[in-house]
Structure 1
Amino acid sequence: VPTIFGSSVDGTKIHAQGAAECTRVIPHDYIIMSRLPGVPLDSVWDNMSLAERKQVVDQVAEVFARLRSIQLSAIGNFVRGPNGRPIVGPMMEGSSDGEDEGEGRRRGPFPSWSAFVVTNIKQEIKYMLQSENKFVETTAYLLRIETLINTIESGDLERRFGSGSTKMDTLPEGVEQSISFLHGDFESRNMLVVGTKIVGLLDFEFAGGFPSEQEWCAGFEWLMARAEDPFDEGEQEKLRNMSDDQRELLEYFLRILKDKYGLQPYGKDHQEYKVVLYHLQVNIAPWWLRDTSREDWTEKQTQSMKTAADSLDRALKYLRC
């Protein structure tokens, strides 16, 4: 984990780490650390004034930009390397290509964006087909999804949509890397504050090297800055219904990232196809429906399946598949 808080966390150290013996039902790795000062940001956020929130957002933007500037050569989660230092290794979950169910199955690390995305899509197809008739709405699009895979593997998709740089052309080089450090859960519950000062960032469990769009699509819900599915009307309605304070804070955050750090969010004005592709993967075999028999779905769950299928169809059309 990079040093990004300076003197605010001096004295914090790891006391012990390793793997627990299999004396419990689920063996697990552990890290014993000094306790950081402060309280979770989400526990005090609602009681902060707009001015105080902006003070916090200034720091959030800096932390995010510094993480974004760390270039990595492969895609995957961090693991302990031969010399004890972290390296990019296999994915912790959900990245088998389905060709081999043994220990040697492909889980990364992945050398490129296309290899990573294709493997994830293949995994979602596997979930879809293994679930018998649970995902009939999205199974109907299987041939189109396979066409999409071919366009990604051939490089046609990036040639078709990827003319825009991942860095703003008018800003300094090296601001953001195509594969960079991703926290994995960049939400207010994992940020510790003392007053309005951020003093710690927690929960690096799923940290690693990932494509730049991943953090935007998976985090930032607390700032209403998450790159939502453009074809999910419910998510878009939530954005349209932001309060004035929420909108002002969001615009302030994005302005700092752009003007001070040369970063911009992924979405309508910046490589939207990667946002569409991220949400498309989720909608192939919706994870929130996998553990429930279709016969036991509630009306809300049934509707969410229809929404996912509609979004998948529209995403494939957008990607010309």
Structure 2
Amino acid sequence: MTAFVDTAARSPRSMAWARRRRAFGSFCRDFSRSRSGMFGLGFLVVIIVLALLAPVLAPAWMLDVTKLLDQPRFAPPSLDHPLGTDDQGRELWVRMIWGARVSLLVGFAATAVSMIIGTVVGIAAGHFTGWTGGLLMRIIDFFLVLPSLILAIVLSVVLSRGVWTIVIAIGLTSWAGTARVVRAQTLSVESRDYIERARVLGAGHWHIIVKHLLPAVLPLVLANTTLTVGSAIIAESTLSFLGLGDATLQSWGSVLKNSMDVSAATAGYWWYVLVPGIAIVLVVLAFTLVGRAVETIVNPTLRSR
């Protein structure tokens, strides 16, 4: 029995998982040393917790204008109204908490779509040679030069209006940068000796991609993911600000659009504009801090500096 356990412990699969656990532990230790990364992560955790607890902290009836007839409109920030009220008497802090749910959902979901497409196309463009790799590179170049915001606007107008339409529009227009980075890393890995050794031993395309290329590019994909979430949140806010979002749901972009509709900036209702604007800036900054910290860890060149 002991011999069997020792043999299993020394199996290639168990050794691989042991290396991954050590690598993950080392990554966590390195990340914990980054003050900016930890600050950004802590801020994001607070925002995510508030968004998840929105039904508890701010029940849905607090957004129903028919139940807020006694609420003052355009009330400035005070003890009674911490972030002020909007043109319909709704508390801005309530709208911001509920809006965080939509903005974060779109940010994470659109980034997931973008990362999946970019990783698959990037690995394929770097691994396959000949006309296949050339065709994939031309597709990547096309999406790189195409104005992504304009394409996202077109998709949002053509498709039925809703949150998932925005997710698809952002995801389908923001993957090219990731694909370019993944392709460069794939070409670097392809030139290493163990890839050639795997080919000589009879490894097929699927084995090389899954066992060797994908684990090698995942750290860069992870670093790029944290940076892309912030861009996706900005894109969602832009589309909602332009009136292309779901009018029945709260988002930070829709709050900004409402403030524009009532000319809050020129009428002196500064809190109506600043609150959602600062929230977007802080969340995007937090994702950027986390992304830079992760990029510093996974990129040996930056880590050496």
TM-score (norm 2): 0.23
More strand as a share of residues:
1
More helix as a share of residues:
2
TM-score (norm 1): 0.22
- Higher relative contact order, chain-length normalized (CA < 8 Å, sep 6+): 2
Largest Rg, 1 or 2: 2
